[in-house]
Amino acid sequence: MKERPKEPFVPARRHETLRRELVALLRGETLTAKELSGMVGISEKEVLEHLEHIKTALHGKLVVTPSRCLECGFSFQKRERVKKPGRCPVCRSERIVDPAFSVEAGD
């Protein structure tokens, strides 16, 4: 890995690289944070943090397939955060499927 002398802050650059990697993966398919975490080798929590950032950076091109309740089918459409909700507001079930993410093609 080459280091440019003007940018000594490796962690920041690693974040950049990871985000680019995540975006590249999401351009091809729809994936959950868990799947992404396995693919890039960071924790699910870190993936979600990056996704929050990517969501802002891409101006709405990050497409979120909302969490859904397996019991009653309720879809968490209005949810702004990328994190998975804990419980269904309709039936109180905790059987919630993870939200999935993809990035729209173009630019």
User: Residue 71 Cβ, how far from Zn ion at the closest point, in Å?
Assistant: 4
Contact 98, 84 (CB under 8 A): yes
CB nearer to Zn ion: pick between 10 and 72: 72
Whole-angstrom CA distances from 26 to 2, 4, 5, 7, 34 are 26, 28, 31, 28, 13
Q: Does 101 bind Zn ion (CB under 5 A)?
A: no
Q: Does 88 bind Zn ion (CB under 5 A)?
A: yes
Note the residues at the interface with Zn ion (CB under 5 A): 69, 71-72, 74, 88, 90-91, 93
